Chain A
Amino acid sequence: MVNNQKVKIDQMKSPSLKMGNVEIVLGKIEDDWDEPMGPTPMPTLSELREWDMKLLNRYDPFYSPICDMCCNCAYGKCDLTNGKKGACGIDQKNQQARTIALESVIGAACHGAHARHVLGVQIQRLGNDFKIDMGLDIACEAPITRTVTGIKPRTLGDFKEALDYAEGEIQNVLASIHTGQEGNYKDFESKALHIGMVDNLVKEVGDIVQIVGYDFPVGQADAPLAEIGAGTVDGKKPVILMIGHNVAAGAEVVTYAEAYNKMDDVEIAGICCTAHDLTRLNPKSKIIGPMSEQIRFIRSGIADIIILDEQCIRTDILEEAEKVGSLVLTTNDKATAGLPDMTRIPADEIVNKLVNRDIRGAMILKEEKVGEVAIKAAEAIAPLREGRKAIPNGKNVIIEAKKCTACEECRRHCPPDLHISEAMTKGKIADFEGLSELREHCIGCGRCEQACPKDIPIISMMEKASEKMIKEQKFMIRSGRGPILDTEIRHVGRPIVFGEIPGVVAFAGCNNYANGAKEVAEIAEEFLKRRYIVVTSGCAAMSLAMYHDEDGKSLYEKYPGDFDQSSLANCGSCVSNSHILGAAIKIPHIFARRDLRANFEEIADYIHNRVGAVGVVWGTYSQKALSIGTGLNRWGIPTIMGPTGVKYRRLYLGRNDKPKTWELFNAKNGDKLIGDAMPAHLAYVAESKEEAIIAIARLVMRPNDTTKGRQIKLTHYTDLYKRYYGRMPPDIHTYIRVEGDIPITEKDEIKKILKKVQWKEKTIPDPTLLERMIRQRVS
């Protein structure tokens, strides 16, 4: 469909008509948006390629293949090591970039399909013309949608066009991955970046639709606190467990419980992002925790009904549920688990079949019916639950531990390299402390059990050993607030751009941690104490909640939920992390009055050079986390991953020994100069918590920092470096442009270093990578 396309006619002559200098806009007319259409409405793959190449020349992709082969077609397998090409001509770099593009497509497709589903549900409920109203404090309701598509959504129906665009781009990039298509690794990366941006867009659509459709909090800094942790679930009540990311079915369970006054009679709890969204709907819902809790909680036997929606749900849930007699409902056609389709069967009939165990579960694709069936079935089977669990008793833990021969197969398959056999040795003499300690670091994947030649139920043994701790696992989390208010941006925009607020640190991602989840909370608190702005969403937001300080308070109880210094703003589920990027986009719009409408490059250029934001994905697991991070990268925002992030195979690393790659324009006078090497990297992996902390302090620096701002940022950087690395940063001189940048407390020491390296003052530019942004050329 042609939309908002400008056609300019310089001169036209026909026998009956003569005209010249005419401009016609084709498509939908936007009559009450005062911004003119920008240069790239709904950009195609090639339209932002030039921008991508600017980034990719600066941050040349680094690859660490986890597979040497290409197995994608029937020519292969092809061995691509030592410079060998495959049968189709592809080389190793190109194959890695191709894999990245594919994984990004998978991630974006998941968020896109989620958005399309909830949009369909809400349009059916509320109508096409239902207004997008984000309240008085949010005029810029959809910053990503505005910037990428040039659409200012006024109604639910307006989002259809944005999703049509996204789906077209997803299809196009997927096609480029077919054998015998793209032949250049940077072009594949450009496609991955493109689809990352599309991922940002569809997440924003998905969450705005959820917010207006379900009446979620809208930018509410004091959104209600909700309970999180397996210990918060009252096993005496009927328990309904929801797993996944799409709250459409879960919402109907809450709605049914509310309508029949059952919220206090049943436990509605969730794992992963659906749980976030349940608490946004009704804070009486409970969050058990991130996705690592799936096997553990199911084996506890407490869940009467398990409702699956989509994404990051274990594919063996049905098998696990059967061990303890829990019933399973699948509610989304992307994950149906082989269950019979009961969508058209009356609710009471389904309940009877479930309760009588005629079926082990059902696929129900009508959300309202899921609500009714889940509550009724849970109430019916809960009284029969007693003793139904797959966790061994203490005596059996000893018996199982005695089977262990310390062959180490478990450890050799364990992603965080846990020393399981040592804990087993202790377990043999009824010392369960080792098993309990393991649980703190365990990601709950179950690979150890699959590898064990003696079939020892390692996860279940850890659960038994940690029984007391699990019962006490009760924390508080602030439910997802959704977007950042325009008024908050007005307050912090200037100090962020000038560097006086040292940075915005965004925690997102999965819970595949190398050293346990506690590290995420420790990293976040380091920056909360230092007056950075901390924002979060998804599984990371849960991990931040799951630690008490000495006074028994979680970070959410200690720090307010605003988008401000020393505040911890939880935006909500995975799709809600679009609001974190949205806040970065609103800064140039609200503070610097830059137009957003179809103006991607200018906004990304502004963010890259001026907004000291960094994404931290300390646990990496899903393709969605990759597309989220790649999307942020296209807007010029750096991301830091934990060690497991290296298994995504690709990073974007800068080189400070290659000054030409840091060229930029001074918009004030048109000078081309070598800018600061910052942000130093665009996609980075840190090995340890300490390294991540240093990397955050380093990657929030921007060429635009004022001297006061740079001084503040360097004060934190040097202080942290001394604390964690034990000395002054050896690269300190590279961050100092003028003497005013030097942290006051380190002045003498740094001046000596500057003298030694024969440091010279540098111009502080008005930085831009876009030649067209030069305001005035001075020859």
Chain B
Amino acid sequence: MERITSWVKTHHAGSSQARPIEPDTAVRIISNADKPTVIIGSRIMDLDGAPLDRIIRLSRALDMPIVATAHSGKFLKERGFTNYVEMAVVEITNVATDNKWGGIEGYGRPDLVMVLGSHLDLMNATFQSLKNFSNIPTMSLSRFFMVNATYSFPNLNDDIWIQCLDEVCDKIEKSHL
């Protein structure tokens, strides 16, 4: 079996590495979380916004707020979606490392942070920061294996990635709606 390496080869940081997951495992972890949340960034409109549409579905099914970083909130608004908070990716990561943080207004402190659609180094920084300074597990839903997350999709091509996101959405919708 081929060893999974970080998509960005130089993101390997030390002795620990993310657990690669398939959609079924992702669904189980997300379903077990009380307060999952998802952070999206400036690259959420890749593939004509296909990932954004999946995240909106996930958010609706889980009644989960989306943390829209950079200018990604604009795209949610354009789709008529309102359950989002706007923060910088470094701001949300910073507060999430604080065990005394009260959490997202009206929602609370997340117990699972998922990330996709951000600049790769910023996604890695979020995973690295939470890995080192918080007890919140993290999950990369991007198409890249993010080695410093707790869980991550392996490296996928665009089509398979969207299929995986669809599978996660379908199963979450089925169990939550």
Q: How far is the CB of B149 from chain A (nearest CB, A)?
A: 13
Given A417-B120, A657-B95, A687-B119, are A64 and B16 also a contact pair (CB < 8 Å)? Answer: no
List chain A residues, Cβ under 8 A from B69. Answer: 687, 691
List chain B residues, Cβ under 8 A from A412. Answer: 7-9
The winner among B42, B93, B121, B126 for most chain A CB atoms within 10 A is: B121
Does A229 make an interface contact (CB < 8 A)?
no
Q: How far is the CB of B69 from chain A (nearest CB, A)?
A: 6
Complex CA gap A81/B14 in Å reads: 9
> Which one of B7, B8, B93 contacts A64 once the chains associate, using CB atoms below 8 Å?
B93
Does B91 make an interface contact (CB < 8 A)?
yes
A62 touches B90 (CB 8 A): yes
Complex CA gap A651/B89 in Å reads: 12
The winner among B9, B71, B86, B97 for most chain A CB atoms within 10 A is: B71
The winner among A646, A687, A688, A724 for most chain B CB atoms within 10 A is: A687
List chain B residues, Cβ under 8 A from A68. Answer: 13-16, 128, 132
Does B73 make an interface contact (CB < 8 A)?
yes
List chain A residues, Cβ under 8 A from B140. Answer: none
B14 touches A69 (CB 8 A): yes
> Which one of B8, B74, B131 contacts A724 once the chains associate, using CB atoms below 8 Å?
B74
Does A149 make an interface contact (CB < 8 A)?
no
The winner among A412, A653, A694, A724 for most chain B CB atoms within 10 A is: A412
Number of A-B contacts (CB under 8 A): 119
B41 touches A687 (CB 8 A): yes
A646 touches B125 (CB 8 A): yes
Beta-carbon contacts under 8 Å, B36-93 to A: 41-42, 69-71, 73-74, 77-78, 85-86, 88-91, 93
A685 touches B90 (CB 8 A): yes
Complex CA gap A688/B95 in Å reads: 21
A644 touches B71 (CB 8 A): no
Beta-carbon contacts under 8 Å, B1-52 to A: 7-10, 13-16, 41-42
A726 touches B74 (CB 8 A): yes
Beta-carbon contacts under 8 Å, B135-165 to A: none
Q: How far is the CB of B26 from chain A (nearest CB, A)?
A: 23
Q: Interface majority SS on A: helix, strand, loop or mixed? A: mixed
Q: How far is the CB of A130 from chain B (nearest CB, A)?
A: 47
B71 touches A691 (CB 8 A): yes
A690 touches B71 (CB 8 A): yes
B13 touches A67 (CB 8 A): yes
Complex CA gap A722/B101 in Å reads: 29
Given A68-B14, A686-B70, A726-B73, are A63 and B132 also a contact pair (CB < 8 Å)? Answer: yes
Q: How far is the CB of A26 from chain B (nearest CB, A)?
A: 47
Complex CA gap A417/B142 in Å reads: 14
> Which one of A79, A417, A451, A686 contacts B88 once the chains associate, using CB atoms below 8 Å?
A686
Given A92-B133, A644-B121, A657-B102, are A62 and B93 also a contact pair (CB < 8 Å)? Answer: yes
Complex CA gap A61/B99 in Å reads: 15
Complex CA gap A643/B126 in Å reads: 12
B90 touches A66 (CB 8 A): no
A62 touches B94 (CB 8 A): yes
> Which one of A79, A643, A653 contacts B14 once the chains associate, using CB atoms below 8 Å?
A79
A687 touches B125 (CB 8 A): no
Q: Interface majority SS on B: helix, strand, loop or mixed? A: helix
List chain A residues, Cβ under 8 A from B124. Answer: 64, 66
B16 touches A514 (CB 8 A): no
Does A530 make an interface contact (CB < 8 A)?
no
Complex CA gap A685/B124 in Å reads: 14
B129 touches A64 (CB 8 A): yes
B74 touches A62 (CB 8 A): no
B16 touches A81 (CB 8 A): yes
List chain A residues, Cβ under 8 A from B128. Answer: 64-66, 68
A92 touches B70 (CB 8 A): no
B42 touches A655 (CB 8 A): no
Given A65-B132, A653-B94, are A643 and B119 also a contact pair (CB < 8 Å)? Answer: yes
Q: How far is the CB of A585 from chain B (nearest CB, A)?
A: 29
Q: How far is the CB of B124 from chain A (nearest CB, A)?
A: 8
B8 touches A66 (CB 8 A): no
B120 touches A730 (CB 8 A): no
A79 touches B10 (CB 8 A): no
Beta-carbon contacts under 8 Å, A13-66 to B: 62-66
Does A93 make an interface contact (CB < 8 A)?
yes
List chain B residues, Cβ under 8 A from A63. Answer: 129, 132-133
The proximity string for A residues 66-86 relative to B, scoring 1 for CB distances below 8 Å and 0 otherwise, is 111100000000011110000
> Which one of B9, B78, B88 contacts A413 once the chains associate, using CB atoms below 8 Å?
B9
Kindly report which residue of chain B lies nearest to residue A646, judged by CB atoms: B125
B90 touches A651 (CB 8 A): yes
Given A657-B102, A684-B88, are A646 and B122 also a contact pair (CB < 8 Å)? Answer: yes
Does A727 make an interface contact (CB < 8 A)?
yes
List chain B residues, Cβ under 8 A from A688. Answer: 42, 70-71
A81 touches B122 (CB 8 A): no
B88 touches A62 (CB 8 A): no
The proximity string for A residues 720-740 relative to B, scoring 1 for CB distances below 8 Å and 0 otherwise, is 000011110010000000000
Given A63-B133, A65-B128, A690-B70, are A646 and B121 also a contact pair (CB < 8 Å)? Answer: yes
> Which one of B91, B120, B125, B132 contacts A92 once the chains associate, using CB atoms below 8 Å?
B132
List chain A residues, Cβ under 8 A from B129. Answer: 62-65
Q: How far is the CB of B65 from chain A (nearest CB, A)?
A: 13
The proximity string for A residues 670-687 relative to B, scoring 1 for CB distances below 8 Å and 0 otherwise, is 000000000000001111
Beta-carbon contacts under 8 Å, A637-695 to B: 643-644, 646-647, 651, 653, 655, 657, 684-688, 690-691, 694-695
List chain B residues, Cβ under 8 A from A724. Answer: 71, 74
- A interface with B by C-beta (< 8 Å): 62-69, 79-82, 92-93, 412-413, 417, 451, 514, 643-644, 646-647, 651, 653, 655, 657, 684-688, 690-691, 694-695, 724-727, 730
Given A62-B93, A64-B90, A686-B88, 15 additional A-B pairs, CB 8 A: A62-B97, A65-B129, A80-B132, A92-B132, A417-B8, A417-B120, A514-B119, A643-B119, A646-B125, A685-B89, A685-B122, A686-B70, A687-B122, A691-B88, A724-B71
- B interface with A by C-beta (< 8 Å): 7-10, 13-16, 41-42, 69-71, 73-74, 77-78, 85-86, 88-91, 93-95, 97, 101-102, 118-122, 124-126, 128-129, 131-133
27 CB < 8 A contacts A-B: A64-B125, A64-B129, A65-B13, A66-B128, A67-B13, A81-B14, A81-B131, A412-B7, A412-B8, A412-B9, A417-B120, A514-B119, A643-B121, A647-B125, A651-B90, A651-B94, A657-B95, A685-B89, A687-B69, A687-B89, A688-B70, A691-B69, A691-B88, A726-B73, A726-B74, A727-B77, A730-B86
The 3 A-B residue pairs whose C-beta atoms are closest, nearest first, are: A68-B14, A64-B125, A690-B71
